[in-house]
Amino acid sequence: MKILLTLLLVLLSGCTEPEQPVKEEPKQEERKTRPMPPYRPKRMVATKPIIVAVIDTGFGYKGLGTKAKLCKQGHKNFTSDLDMAPNLNTEDPVPMDYHGHGTNIVGIIDRYANWSTYEYCIVIVKYYSPGFGDDNLKNTVKAIKYATAIGADFINYSGGGKDRSQDEVDAIQSFLNNGGTVVAAAGNEGADLKLTPFYPALADDRIIVVGNLGFDGNKAPSSNYGEKVDIWERGTSIEGFGLIMTGTSQAAAVVTGKMIKQKIENRK
């Protein structure tokens, strides 16, 4: 009996679970690796909006222009007028326009820049107050320097005069040297710019000087003219935010709007 019991224990001790085979790791040189796909950098899309500094009489004349494409920040007043335009969706206050000119200019730029895109915004920089000739020129210089400081891409200057200011020339050249574009009105004296200069339009050859065409496509009688005029555009009876005005100011605003639209198209 002892012999049978011993034999049974021996047999049972051999009935263990079989060992799982060990999977041999392939040698390093035998391993197959999947090649990494080539690196393709993501296309960088410009997110900074085009900034347009409109150096003029302010904005918001009689409450007009509430849908203008204004920048949230950066608006500046260099005059003694302290009133700000109401009901505008901006973080910084916008200097009030008592004249209507600046409001008209912004409306024209918006129209021709293309209402359907928001890849640009307008900064209102007020330099003009009626009856303050010398102050207006000094304020112009400050306004141009300010546009340079905030990194504006465009200056629209729909104004000017016959007096040349070296400070104004220096400010314009600094803005241009920093990569900005200046669009300026040729003036409304009906004169040849070669004989009767107009500033800041002639402050630097890189400024885009705009003359005014009438409805018939010919030079408007009031427009300054000559070889110094770079572009001719209709500025006769141009509407902006319900205000209709005529002159090289309006022609310049049309050109600024078209240039903004083109710059946006070039980004795509």
Q: Is 85 helix (H, G, I), strand (E, B) or coil?
A: coil
Beta strands in 26-164 (DSSP E): 50-56, 76-77, 120-126, 154-157
The number of angstroms, rounded, from the C-alpha of 218 to the middle of its chain's C-alpha atoms is 31
Contact 125, 54 (CB under 8 A): yes
Q: Is 24 helix (H, G, I), strand (E, B) or coil?
A: coil
Alpha-carbon span 56 to 39, nearest angstrom: 50
How many alpha carbons fall within 13 Å on the CB side of residue 175? 35
Contact 75, 104 (CB under 8 A): no
Structure confidence at residue 1 (pLDDT): 43
pTM score: 0.82
Beta strands in the chain (DSSP E): 50-56, 76-77, 120-126, 154-157, 181-185, 208-213, 231-234, 238-240, 243-245
**DSSP class of residue 213?**
E
Contact 244, 101 (CB under 8 A): no
Contact 101, 136 (CB under 8 A): no
Structure confidence at residue 11 (pLDDT): 34
Alpha-carbon span 247 to 250, nearest angstrom: 6
Q: Is 141 helix (H, G, I), strand (E, B) or coil?
A: helix
Beta strands in 90-225 (DSSP E): 120-126, 154-157, 181-185, 208-213
Structure confidence at residue 245 (pLDDT): 98
Strand partners, 47: none
Annotate 37-48 with DSSP letters as a single string: PPP-PPPP---S
* pLDDT of the chain, 268 residues: tens digit per residue: 444 334 333 333 444 343 334 334 444 444 444 555 554 444 434 468 999 999 999 999 999 999 999 999 999 999 999 999 999 999 999 999 999 999 999 999 999 998 656 799 999 999 998 876 679 999 999 999 999 999 999 999 999 999 999 999 999 999 999 999 999 999 999 999 999 999 999 999 999 999 999 999 999 999 999 999 999 999 999 999 999 999 999 999 999 999 999 999 888 7
50-267 sits in which CATH class?
alpha beta
